[in-house]
């Protein structure tokens, strides 16, 4: 255990590495860990021996699947580095770590330029008011054009993106353009020009300094520029660009110097916004990174190991946490004990004594901790939440069934463990359809989760597209009647019911009233009639799907003093209702979703054409970002949920869509007939 605190809050730099798959984030993590002395030599993604890709499947696939937290110390700073997966289906996992850091470093692959995931991450980091840094990796690679890449970056993300160093003329290292510009030769551009552009950009946020600069025309020292530099970063007025090669190590010392001297410490970044209370009553509260105040920490990551239990990884925003302390999780009354406080380096856990504000640590074996929970040590901070982070809503679904029926419980537990770890996953139980549906961001996402379940729990599951939750309703008023009469030996069963049905407005549900007068049916039997009607509402009258938006009025009937029993009226109610529905022009309806496709400009025609073919309508197209168009419209869920792979091939993997429930609409006649037929056949009618 660390016996003394080697760093304070102002020494901490929290940085997440985000950006497209294959950009080199994991390799860059290695290079930084080595430079910081945390590892003796770099592992390689190809060999499967990197610190951050420690999961067995990551090693096998050679790319990251989960965010991974590492740390190192370097010339007085303590860097918490979070490596994230870059493949587009995992972008929810990458976004989920952003609340833990001041700086989002968007890593670009010099060979592939500005990719879609980079745009998404830049936008998300900006929306969350993180300071941003662009790292161009693989500057050692062949056939790259860094000068034009810089132009592309500025085109895509704005003229506030400016190189703070430049590759040297030999391609072996990089040349600093900010701290001590010495006019060394660069591969493109010049040190002086780059220096001037940065200083010009920085002084724009500080009028006084701007005057000194303009009047005196003198060079400003990096120290004089520190405050305005931080301000420019916070305001998004400056996004520095750094060049590195994670494999040759070029640019790594310069990047570390940027971390050390320019990237915000926890006191300098934009403070996270917390809320106290729910909904409209929620009030914004600011947290104060003071070690002596109450503890406020935010859980941004959960790891579940079948043997070692649940690990909660969190960022301390206020106060200090000591091993042995008690903490409340969210609004729970009962505290948990921090048996151990850990620092992580991938799979490696090191005990620590005290966690200071701004630091990132973890506690092991705590079942109570969940993603997005706020940990605190006083009930004053009950009901605290971090402001909503715009995580993507999982929309791609697969129905899951254990291959072996005996594994039902185990499968359910495994799915819930996966859901707890991944905020972009959702497990739904559809009781009417007796189906468990796993929803995620895309097919690859769900396949990877199922693979993980197989690896971790030795469980196999079968999948299918989820059933559609159709509903039935009626479209006309009608009446129904049934007389239930049965004579078995001595006593019999008797009940007779007359009822009326009327359609209700969409979404109203179900109404049941009795207008029986003169005691033709005694009041104690009315609930039995309602039971019979509700049974049909649940199981449906024509297609086997539940009914909705129906009003039922019982208005007459008969009973028998001896033979009338509840069961008789349940039966009579059921049959009378079925007869009424048959006369009330029943229909089957399906869910319609609002859908927004984000696709490259050249795919707009293809997608709008497909949407029409899917019984959908286009309501508008809009520019989403450079070269990305957003197409909004409506279509039946049944069609949209099967569209994933088609969209992928149509857009070369660049297209995506989100969907939201809109309303129910009548299923086309032919399809209704099929649903009704399917329902009847198994019954052998």
Ligand X SMILES: Nc1nc2c(ncn2[C@@H]2O[C@H](COP(=O)(O)OP(=O)(O)OP(=O)(O)O)[C@@H](O)[C@H]2O)c(=O)[nH]1
Using CB under 5 A as the binding rule, whether residue 84 contacts Mg ion is answered as no
- State the Rg of the chain over Cα: 31
Applying CB under 6 A, among 11, 116, 140, 254 the residue interacting with ligand X is 140
Smallest gap from Cβ 530 to Mg ion, in A, equals 59
Using CB under 6 A as the binding rule, whether residue 66 contacts ligand X is answered as no
Q: Which stretch binds ligand X (CB under 6 A): 15-23, 216-224, 526-534, 565-573?
A: 15-23
Q: Which stretch binds Mg ion (CB under 5 A): 19-27, 179-187, 312-320, 552-560?
A: 19-27
Q: How many CB atoms lie within 10 A of CB 184?
A: 15
Residue 245 interacts with which of Mg ion, ligand X, none, CB < 5 to 8 Å by class: ligand X
Smallest gap from Cβ 580 to ligand X, in A, equals 60
Q: Which is nearer to ligand X, 25 or 74 (CB)?
A: 25
Using CB under 6 A as the binding rule, whether residue 88 contacts ligand X is answered as no
Using CB under 6 A as the binding rule, whether residue 574 contacts ligand X is answered as no
Applying CB under 6 A, among 12, 15, 16, 23 the residue interacting with ligand X is 23
Q: Which stretch binds Mg ion (CB under 5 A): 24-32, 142-150, 591-599, 634-642?
A: 24-32
**E strands present in 102-145:** 103-109, 131-137
List the structure tokens of 92.
């929810």
Q: Which of residues 25-44 bind Mg ion (CB under 5 A)?
A: 25-26
Name the strand (E) or helix (H) holding 410: helix 408-421
Q: Which is nearer to ligand X, 107 or 175 (CB)?
A: 107
Q: Which stretch binds ligand X (CB under 6 A): 240-248, 474-482, 589-597, 614-622?
A: 240-248
How many helices (H) and strands (E) the chain has is answered by 17, 35
Q: Which is nearer to ligand X, 139 or 295 (CB)?
A: 139
| All residues at 6 or more sequence positions from 323 whose CB lies less than 8 Å from its CB, including other chains | 338, 339, 340, 341, 351, 352, 353, 354
CA–CA separation, 544 and 572 (whole Å): 20
CA–CA separation, 215 and 223 (whole Å): 19
Using CB under 6 A as the binding rule, whether residue 63 contacts ligand X is answered as yes
Q: Which is nearer to ligand X, 67 or 269 (CB)?
A: 67
Residue 24 interacts with which of ligand X, Mg ion, none, CB < 5 to 8 Å by class: ligand X
Q: Which residue is nearest to ligand X (CB)?
A: 86
Using CB under 6 A as the binding rule, whether residue 27 contacts ligand X is answered as yes
CA–CA separation, 54 and 527 (whole Å): 61
Smallest gap from Cβ 24 to Mg ion, in A, equals 8
Q: Are 242 and 251 in contact (CB under 8 A)?
A: yes
Q: How many CB atoms lie within 10 A of CB 342?
A: 18
Q: Are 185 and 194 in contact (CB under 8 A)?
A: no
- In 3-state terms, what secondary structure has residue 469? coil
CA–CA distance from 142 to each of 138, 139, 166 (Å)?
9, 8, 17
The residues with which 427 forms a beta bridge, in sequence order, are: 438
Name the strand (E) or helix (H) holding 613: helix 604-613
Applying CB under 6 A, among 137, 325, 411, 473 the residue interacting with ligand X is 137
User: Between vectors from CA 616 to CA 613 and to CA 620, what angle results, nearest 5°?
Assistant: 115
Using CB under 6 A as the binding rule, whether residue 21 contacts ligand X is answered as yes
Residue 31 interacts with which of Mg ion, ligand X, none, CB < 5 to 8 Å by class: none
Residue 596 interacts with which of Mg ion, ligand X, none, CB < 5 to 8 Å by class: none
CA–CA separation, 134 and 137 (whole Å): 9
Residue 481 interacts with which of Mg ion, ligand X, none, CB < 5 to 8 Å by class: none
Using CB under 6 A as the binding rule, whether residue 86 contacts ligand X is answered as yes
Q: Which is nearer to Mg ion, 92 or 544 (CB)?
A: 92
Using CB under 5 A as the binding rule, whether residue 55 contacts Mg ion is answered as no
Q: Which stretch binds ligand X (CB under 6 A): 241-249, 252-260, 463-471, 502-510?
A: 241-249
Residue 499 interacts with which of Mg ion, ligand X, none, CB < 5 to 8 Å by class: none
Applying CB under 6 A, among 9, 55, 64, 80 the residue interacting with ligand X is 64
Q: How many residues bind ligand X (CB under 6 A)?
A: 21
Applying CB under 6 A, among 43, 85, 495, 544 the residue interacting with ligand X is 85
Q: Which is nearer to Mg ion, 64 or 318 (CB)?
A: 64
Applying CB under 6 A, among 13, 22, 484, 638 the residue interacting with ligand X is 22
Q: Are 563 and 520 in contact (CB under 8 A)?
A: no
Q: Which of residues 62-81 bind Mg ion (CB under 5 A)?
A: 64
Smallest gap from Cβ 650 to ligand X, in A, equals 23
In order, the DSSP letters of 593-607 are EEEEEEEEGGGHHHH
Q: Which stretch binds ligand X (CB under 6 A): 24-32, 255-263, 270-278, 533-541?
A: 24-32
Residue 633 interacts with which of ligand X, Mg ion, none, CB < 5 to 8 Å by class: none
Residue 165 interacts with which of Mg ion, ligand X, none, CB < 5 to 8 Å by class: none
Q: Which is nearer to ligand X, 140 or 530 (CB)?
A: 140
| All residues at 6 or more sequence positions from 75 whose CB lies less than 8 Å from its CB, including other chains | 256, 260
In order, the DSSP letters of 282-336 are -EEEE----TTS--EEEEEEEEEETTTEEEEEEEEEES-EETT-EEEETT-SS-E
User: Between vectors from CA 111 to CA 110 and to CA 117, what angle results, nearest 5°?
Assistant: 75
- Nearest CA to 500 out of 588, 581, 585 is that of 581
Smallest gap from Cβ 90 to ligand X, in A, equals 8
List the structure tokens of 90.
């995992």
CA–CA separation, 300 and 216 (whole Å): 48
Smallest gap from Cβ 86 to ligand X, in A, equals 3
Using CB under 6 A as the binding rule, whether residue 26 contacts ligand X is answered as yes
- Nearest CA to 81 out of 35, 44, 20, 121 is that of 35
Binding site residues, ligand X, CB under 6 A: 21-27, 45-46, 63-64, 85-87, 137-138, 140-141, 245-247
Binding site residues, Mg ion, CB under 5 A: 25-26, 64
């Amino acid at each position: 255990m660390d016996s003394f605190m080697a760093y304070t809050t102002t020494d901490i730099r929290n940085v997440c590495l985000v950006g497209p798959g294959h950009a080199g984030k994991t390799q860059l993590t290695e290079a930084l860990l080595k430079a910081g002395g945390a590892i003796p030599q770099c592992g390689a993604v190809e060999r499967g021996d990197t610190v951050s890709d420690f999961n067995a499947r990551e090693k096998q696939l050679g790319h990251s699947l989960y965010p991974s937290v590492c740390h190192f110390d370097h010339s007085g700073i303590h860097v918490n580095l979070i490596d994230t997966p870059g493949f587009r289906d995992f972008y929810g996992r990458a976004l989920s770590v952003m609340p833990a850091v001041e700086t989002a470093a968007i890593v670009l692959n010099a060979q592939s330029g500005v990719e879609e995931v980079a745009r998404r991450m830049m936008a998300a980091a900006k929306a969350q008011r993180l300071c941003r840094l662009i790292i161009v990796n693989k500057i050692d690679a062949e056939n790259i054009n860094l000068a034009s890449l810089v132009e592309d970056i500025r085109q895509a993300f704005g003229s506030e993106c400016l190189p703070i160093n430049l590759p040297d003329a030999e391609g072996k290292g990089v040349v600093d353009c900010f701290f001590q510009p010495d006019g060394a030769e660069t591969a493109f551009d010049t040190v002086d020009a780059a220096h001037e552009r940065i200083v010009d950009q920085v002084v724009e946020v500080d009028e006084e300094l701007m005057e000194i600069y303009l009047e005196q025309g003198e060079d400003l020292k990096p120290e004089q520029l520190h405050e305005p530099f931080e301000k420019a970063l916070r305001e998004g007025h400056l996004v520095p660009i750094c060049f590195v090669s994670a494999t040759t190590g070029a640019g790594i010392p310069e990047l570390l110097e940027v971390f050390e001297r320019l990237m915000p410490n926890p006191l300098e970044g934009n403070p996270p916004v917390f809320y106290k209370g729910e909904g409209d009553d929620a009030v914004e509260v600011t947290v104060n990174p003071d070690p002596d105040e109450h503890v406020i920490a935010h859980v941004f990551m959960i790891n579940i190991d079948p043997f070692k239990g649940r690990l909660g990884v969190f960022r301390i925003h206020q106060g200090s946490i000591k091993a042995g302390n008690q903490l409340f999780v969210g609004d729970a009354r009962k505290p948990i004990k921090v048996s151990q406080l850990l620092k992580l380096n991938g799979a490696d856990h090191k005990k620590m004594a005290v966690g200071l504000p701004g630091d990132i640590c973890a506690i092991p074996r705590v079942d109570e901790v969940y993603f997005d929970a706020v940990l605190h040590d006083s009930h004053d901070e009950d009901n605290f939440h971090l402001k909503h982070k715009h995580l993507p809503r999982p929309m791609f679904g697969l129905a899951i069934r254990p291959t072996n029926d005996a594994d039902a419980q185990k499968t359910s537990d495994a799915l819930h463990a996966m859901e707890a770890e991944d905020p972009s996953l959702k497990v739904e139980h559809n009781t009417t359809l007796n189906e468990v549906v796993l929803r995620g961001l895309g097919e690859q996402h769900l396949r990877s989760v199922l693979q993980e379940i197989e690896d971790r729990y030795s469980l196999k599951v079968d999948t299918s597209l989820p059933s559609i939750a159709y509903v039935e309703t009626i479209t006309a008023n009608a009446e129904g009647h049934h007389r239930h009469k049965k004579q078995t030996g001595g006593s019999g069963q008797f009940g007779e019911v007359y009822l009326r049905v009327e359609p209700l407005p969409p979404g109203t549900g179900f109404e049941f009233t009795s207008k029986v007068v003169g005691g033709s049916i005694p009041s104690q039997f009315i609930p039995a009639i309602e039971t019979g009607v509700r049974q049909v509402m649940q199981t449906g009258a024509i297609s086997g799907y539940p009914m909705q938006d129906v009003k039922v009025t019982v208005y007459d009937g008969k009973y028998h003093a001896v033979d009338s029993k509840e069961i008789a009226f349940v039966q009579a109610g059921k049959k009378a209702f079925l007869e009424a529905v048959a006369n009330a022009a029943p229909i089957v309806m399906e869910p319609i979703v609002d859908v927004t496709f984000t696709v490259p400009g050249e795919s707009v025609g293809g997608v709008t054409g497909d949407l029409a073919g899917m019984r959908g309508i286009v309501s508008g197209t809009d520019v989403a970002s450079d070269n990305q168009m957003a197409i909004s419209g409506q279509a039946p869920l049944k069609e949209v949920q099967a569209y994933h792979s088609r969209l992928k091939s149509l857009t070369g993997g660049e297209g995506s869509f989100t969907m939201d429930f809109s309303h129910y609409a009548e299923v086309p006649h032919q399809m209704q007939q099929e649903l009704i037929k399917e329902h009847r056949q198994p019954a052998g009618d």
